[in-house]
Amino acid sequence: MLSNFEKAFADARKKGLATFSYQGKLYNTKYREERVLDELFKEYPALSNVYNANNTKISMANVDRQMLNKQYGGGGSIEHWFPDNEGAAEFPHPSLGKYNLEFFDSNLFKNTKNMKAAVLLDMLHGMKNDPNFKSLRDEFNNNWAPSEMDFIKQKYQTEGYKDEDLASYIDRTALDSYLRGGLSPHDDATLLADPEHQQYALMYRGLYKENDQPIDPYSPAQRAIIDKMKSYMTTLKY
């Protein structure tokens, strides 16, 4: 049963109101996920070249979809769905025709700060549809350190799909992983608290070490490009 507040909230949304008053206080009628998108579009205006409030949705998968994600999806805590990706018959797009940032980890989804960061970083997948960002992304991809390219080629031998060439593998997996590391909005403490999932960001900041020596997979040229990306995402200039 809905509480009185929830009924007032639902009624205000149904009427198309931006705000409503309840017990003397003024409330916004947007859901938390909608407010997160609004904040991201304001803080990173370049996102609006691809995403907007009408074509993008943040959702939390139900229990059935959480299980299906392990079988048919990527198995991670969040999935970026492109509008035209119908998905498998057993695991279809949750809102076909829209970008959907679908969460499979309820703890991550409930933590607004971390959820917001996860959405931002997963949106990098779609930013290759922005010509300016794509140009920087392609430039990044053309400036691998030789030793890192050798490492990526080794991973490709075991992780590449059947009939997938190296370039497609890099575009599908490696490239955005490295970009997310460089563009992560998390502070150092948050990264250090979750080294398993924040490895690239830790390496980018010199906080990931082996034998007490920092591991740096980024070339100097790639670091300069990430600086340009940061500027473009927030100012539309670089």
Question: What one-character-per-residue DSSP string does 22-88 give?
Answer: ETTEEEE-S-HHHHHHHHHHHH-GGGGGT--TTTEEEEE--HHHHHHHHHHS--SSEEEE-TT--EE
Tokens of 28: 């916004």
Q: Which two tokens stand for residue 90?
A: 């057993």
Q: Which H helix or E strand runs over 214?
A: strand 213-214
Instruction: Give the domain ranges of the chain.
Output: 1-30, 31-126, 130-238
β pairing state of 99-103 and 209-210 = unpaired
- The residue ranking higher by pLDDT, 74 or 34, is 34
Whether 161 contacts 81, CB under 8 Å: no
Which pLDDT score is estimated for 96? 97
The tokens describing 13, both together, are: 């949304």
Q: What are the start-end ranges of the H helices in 63-197?
A: 63-72, 106-110, 112-122, 131-141, 146-159, 166-169, 175-183, 188-192
Q: Cα torsion for 136, 142, 147, 151, to the nearest 10°?
A: 80
Confidence tier at 1 by pLDDT (50, 70, 90) = confident
**What pLDDT does residue 73 have?**
79
pLDDT band at 222 (very low <50, low <70, confident <90, very high): very high
* 75 pLDDT higher than 90: no
In single-letter form, the type of residue at position 238 comes to: Y
Residue 2 pLDDT more than 90?
Answer: no
Q: Is the pLDDT of residue 193 over 90?
A: yes
Strand 56-60 with 99-103, pairing: parallel
**Quick one: 120 exposed, middle or buried, by C-beta within 10 A (0-12, 13-18, 19+)?**
buried
Q: Which two tokens stand for residue 116?
A: 């917001």
